[in-house]
A = this chain, B = another copy of it.
């Protein structure tokens, strides 16, 4: 119920078209639909042409299919499914056309997005084991219309690997630093670039890594400015946020 509706309602009251009691009842039932609507609108503006996203973890192939079909029923053409197990992907692919990447475990219904943001997002990892999380971030960002550069296996224990890619790094409008173990990559990158660095701790490691806790704490304590952190293994969150920031920088 937006201002126009309220005005209309008040005028109906004024004109005696509806009773005061009826007006109260209408005001009581739906005051917060305004809120919802306002928000959805905003969303529309942002997402124009980019896919909807379904979090696949903990959902059965049947449930995912149901949501996909409902979305397509509303006219949504491109749908991204994250954390989709290979077996589930296989089962879904029997019903609808789905392109699936087993590394990032992302499934895509529809076509790849076109690039809508002018800047570049650099996604870097400390090691090769961090790549699945990084790919989740990278492919989500690509699906949301961003140009993505990958810098994998540039961990700080061999700093020259990272430094030899400085030109790529310096070209970024946003950096996503994905690392497990000691998670030092975020600080080093935060010190090298002048753009926002989104740090993604991963659960890669053993012993005192405590399933990503060490990397998480390390990243939260980064002595470099411009670094913020998302949840352990949250590639999606990083990719989504990076896209938000990159689109602030202007759309194509």
A interface residues (Cβ-Cβ under 8 A, vs B): 3, 6-7, 10-11, 13-14, 16, 20, 23-24, 27-36, 38-39, 42-43, 46, 57-58, 119, 126-127, 129, 155-161, 163-164, 166-167, 170, 173, 181-184, 186-188, 190-196, 198, 201, 203-234, 236-238, 240-241, 244-246, 248-250
Find out whether the CB atom of B7 lies under 8 angstroms from the CB atom of A10: no
Question: Are A157 and B190 closer than 8 Å at their CB atoms?
Answer: yes
Q: Which chain B residues lie closer than 8 Å to A32 at the CB level? A: 160-161, 163-164, 166
Copies in the complex: 8
> In the complex the two chains form, is A229's CB within 8 Å of B218's CB?
no
User: Are the CB atoms of A218 and B7 closer together than 8 Å?
Assistant: no
Determine whether the beta carbon of A42 is less than 8 Å from that of B194: yes
Query: A14-B14, A194-B39 known; A33 and B160 CB under 8 Å?
Result: yes
For residue A18, give the distance in angstroms from its CB to the closest CB of chain B: 10
- 4 extra interchain contacts, Cβ-Cβ under 8 A, other than A39-B194, A220-B229? A31-B164, A36-B164, A209-B231, A215-B221
A184 to B214, CA, bound (A): 11
Across the interface, do B232 and A207 meet the contact criterion of CB distance under 8 Å? yes
Our pick among B188, B194, B249 for the contact of A249 (Cβ within 8 Å) is B249
Q: Which residues of B contact A236 (CB under 8 A)?
A: 225
Interchain CA distance A244-B227 in the complex, whole Å: 10
Which listed residue, B159, B214, B229, B234, touches A188 by the CB 8 Å rule? B159
Pair B35/A166 contact, Cβ less than 8 Å: yes
| Contact present for B184 and A218 (CB under 8 Å) | yes
Q: Select which of B156, B220, B227 is within 8 A of A223 by beta carbon.
A: B156
A157 to B46, CA, bound (A): 18
The reply to whether A216 and B208 form a contact with Cβ atoms under 8 Å apart is yes
> Whole-angstrom distance from the CB of A103 to the nearest CB of chain B?
12
Q: Contact between A20 and B35 (Cβ–Cβ < 8 Å)?
A: no
8 contacts between A and B (CB under 8 A): A7-B24, A10-B10, A173-B248, A182-B183, A182-B187, A209-B217, A221-B231, A228-B228
